[in-house]
Structure 1
Amino acid sequence: MLGKLALSTGALLLATAAHAGQARRADFGAMPDGARVEAITLSNARGFSARILSYGAILQSLMVPDARGRRADVVEGYASLDGYLSRPNYFGSSVGRYANRIGGAHFTLDGRAYTLAKNDGPNSLHGGAAGFDRHLWQVVSLSSGPQASVTLRRTSPDGEEGYPGALSVTATYTLDDKGALSITYRATTDAPTIVNLTGHAYFNLGGEASGRSIMDHRIMIPANAYTPVDATLIPTGEIAPVAGTPFDLRKPTAMGAHIRDGDPQLALARGYDHNWAITRPNADRPTKDQHLMAAIRDPLSGRAMEVWSNQPGLQFYTGNFLDGTIRGKGGKLYRQGDAFCVEPQVFPDTPNKPAFGSARLDPGQTYVHRITYRFSAR
């Protein structure tokens, strides 16, 4: 009896170990000052794996099985650190302090005007010329088990890129045993400031080395409204209904179905590069609750992805400025329309648009943004 019990217990432990996720660290090169960059790989027993870099808290690789079990890397990026240093393009980056654009590279907080770095024409984009994507983060913890995870940390000093307050930030990547990858951003400050963090992965569910466009990917965004933009891609302040426009993606729609229809908004951005109002600003929904932001499916590979978050807006971008001059990990040149981004966040230019709500963070508060990418294949 004891022998059988011991055998059963051993079998259970082996089964548990076989399904446990793994977190492993390796070297990924050196910064110009000699500081080492780490690559942390999270994996599970179902064939999923994610590689995260300590530089930029970047999602460098994400291996996902298709309907036949064939694995492919579904995020664009570089095979070595050199590419991220020389032509970053925000591939897989954690962007901040303020993701997306702030019009005129300025805002006012408590009656004081702040001037930011201009790195997108007259505007500030993704935190400025040296945002969070251009810094080395510290790996503070790794965990293997049912959920494999890594937590990275950095402190943005008071005045960095023009933002007030010292901001302490962590990014935790978690891969579960079902193939869902989550990112949780947390931030605290020692003075009133603004914050808006998100992940900036470029996805192609057919595989980044497939050479295929994402124009036949089908996307659904459950939003009744979006925020139109001006000629510099700053929201005008209007929250406009999507009904009767190419921005009505409430039913699954091919990403390329309307891009060449001649819509003035699509012409300004060379495609989709807009924010959808998933929930209205200052809605009653608690910020701890995640809600569905988008569902995407590649009909050829069968891979599908849902994006969940606790933020009100979703920036959907169709790789409009990829120009065929960047060679990716798999040796393919990345062309216009070869990838899409789905970035949950506070609405763009919220600090200058009171109707959009607030991006304010005060001492004693904790900013928390949870993103989950749920994958399936059929």
Structure 2
Amino acid sequence: MLTIKISDRDRITPIQSLVTNVLSLLAALGAVGLIFLVCGVNPFFAISKIFMGSFGSMYGFKETVTKAIPLVLIGGGLTLAFRAKFWNIGAEGQLLMGAILGGWVGLAWGDTLPSVVIVPLMFAAGFLGGALCGLVPAFLKIKFAINEVISTLMINYICAEFLTLLIVGPWKGKTRFGFPGTDNLPDNAILGVISGSRIHYATLVLALISVVILTIVVYRSRFGYEVRVIGENPEAGRYAGINFFKTSMLIMLISGGLAGFAGVGEVAGIHHYLGYPASISSGYGFTAIIVAWLAKLNPFYAIVSGLFFAGILVGGDAIQMSLGLPAATVQIVNGTLLVFLIMGDFFMKNKVTIQRRASVES
């Protein structure tokens, strides 16, 4: 009789972690290739088209950087939450709420305040909006033991429907000719971009600074130590006197706030008005979950993993046009990558052995 035994690995080296990530990605690409094959598409051509479309030209690379900005911001914040084993699945809603409050500030005072004032105010409002959507699930979990996966996931729908309500109702713009959406933001509230691209440099700088600060906080501060302890050994954290309520609320304030930053960047840097939720975010809040896992919950590595998945988003657009594949293809690729990354993480942390157990004769 065969039995499966699962035991913890004693020590995981950085090399083992790197090799596991690489093998997981290769296995995932192999699975994606099989999916393309079933669809009647040459898998080697399709996968090469994805990466050539995003990194094979200057235009593609600029678009990749543009889409990497929200992924780095949100992914960096999620690494903090996931380290504490707070499963924040609500970054999409946090992004949208940041876009709503940031856009409201821009529409209300963009004509009367200079750029040096209105832009920081928009980002501050966006951070507040995202943070509020993060604090509510944290409060519910700590005070009432409500599962954060459910509460954060449900808030996504609330924020999306709230935005839809605004753009078809009280905020519907007079210049939209009856179509849903607000009026365009005033010029003072629009973010500057790098010439010849859509890269809004204010948000790009904000994203890079945020992940650097987060990395220092996680590995070089008392708060970072408390986050790691809560995630690795909650009982030890309680014994050490860590205030779970305070730490959890601060974690979600930061994680949600960074997603709110991303929402402001998308509205003020790309679209310049508030429209339907799907037009503001290309599912960044969900893709950033995979970004955080690929980064091994290291905020600084979110820069690399954010670029990688932004490349898949841009390359996915390329294969839609050249191969005629549906838009859902990108989500299939992302979902497959996440499954294999989680599997790789499991096998890296656990040793699985199959043993033959002698049957006992009566």
Q: TM-score range by the shorter chain?
A: under 0.3
Tell me the TM-score normalised to structure 2 length: 0.25
Structure with greater strand share of residues: 1
Q: Which has the larger radius of gyration?
A: 2
Which structure carries more relative contact order (alpha carbon 8 Å, separation 6+)?
A: 2
Structure with greater helix share of residues: 2
